[in-house]
Amino acid sequence: MAVAIRTEGLTKDYGASRGLFDLDLDVSTGEVFGYLGPNGSGKTTTIRLLMDMVRPTRGRGEIFGVDCQAYPVEVKRMVGYLPGEMPQWGGLRGRDVVAYVGGLRGGLDPARVSGLTERLDLDLGRRYREYSSGNKRKLGLVLAFMHPSRLLVLDEPTNGLDPLIQQEFYRLVEEAAAEGVTVFLSSHVLAEVERACQRVGILRRGRLVQVARLDELHHLRYHRLEADFAGEVPADAVRAVAGVEEVSVEDHRLSCTVHGAFGPLLQVLGREQVLNLVTHEPTLEEVFLAYFRDPAEPAQAPVPTGGAR
């Protein structure tokens, strides 16, 4: 399948370990690709690099084979874009903003705009500054979807949208995908990606840590294990087992996570008298959080409340 987005070693180094580093990514034509990561992980930087808003420190990005930095105008002819933060259009009415942006693209189809505003329940007669944050987002979606494009780049598109409009948005994405449009959707909401995307890339601290189909993410899942021992817990031996992480011991109880096969761990456990053994599968949300957790971060201390003494 043809590639819609390709990046090779794409890097934007803002210094102090901030930015995006060595991104190698392929998004296929017609695919709905979710780009997941916590705040500050580099999602918006990636999008801005692809949209030629910021310039890479090194590496390159292509959209449908066209270099994003060398031929930005050609790239943007193919792209519908929703920025993470909507511009401040001030006193302009929604209909003026649509006409203005339409003018920049050389014209627009009023029927298409009308259809979108109907579905998103947006009144274009009001001034932009009177819009709620959700209505501003809706206007952004209209601006992104109102032109026939081959790729939709949407930065956290459902921020501020109510659940009903979110459902309508997902339908718009499905229809676009059905027409062969590629969708690149950044989010930090797993449920949104699960609902709309076929494949996801997970970013952490500016690095792509995983690209997988949604069903493959389930294969990546680990197991949480708890075991009660009659005697001493063989903590050192357990820690030495490949795939075992987050080992903690409390009295005679061992807790850990197990990635991959259980065999090597069971061999270690089998040498001791195990009174009780429990494992459970994490939810997809937990898988997601595991990827987002920064290994450098210390364990969170409980937050004192106003009533704490």
Can you give the binding site for other proteins, defined by CB under 8 A?
44, 48, 51-55, 72-74, 76-77, 79, 81, 83, 85-89, 91-96, 98-108, 110, 113-114, 117-118, 122-125, 129, 143, 305-307
In whole angstroms, give the CA distance from residue 158 to residue 9: 29
Min dist CB 100 to other proteins, Å, is: 5
Nearest residue (CB) to other proteins, 104 versus 296: 104
Select 95 or 253, whichever has its Cβ closest to other proteins: 95
Which residue, 114 or 267, has its beta carbon nearer to other proteins?
A: 114
State the nearest-atom distance from the C-beta of 172 to other proteins, in Å. 16
- The amino acid that residue 30 corresponds to is G
Q: Provide the minimum distance between the beta carbon of 48 and other proteins in the complex, in angstroms, as a whole number.
A: 5
Angle at 77 between CA 75 and CA 83, to 5 degrees: 80
Q: CA 215 to CA 247: how far, in whole Å?
A: 28
* CA neighbor of 201 nearest in space, from 41, 1, 30: 41
Q: Could you tell me where the beta strands, DSSP code E, fall in 191-289?
A: 199-204, 207-213, 223-229, 244-250, 253-258, 274-280
The closest of 169, 170, 183, 92 to 138, measured between CA atoms, is 169
If the CB atoms of residues 105 and 207 are measured against other proteins, the closer one turns out to be 105
Tell me the closest approach of the beta carbon of residue 91 to other proteins, in angstroms.
Answer: 8
Q: 92 or 247, CB closer to other proteins?
A: 92
End-to-end CA distance of the chain: 62
**In the complex, minimum distance from the CB of residue 53 to other proteins, in angstroms, rounded to a whole number:** 5
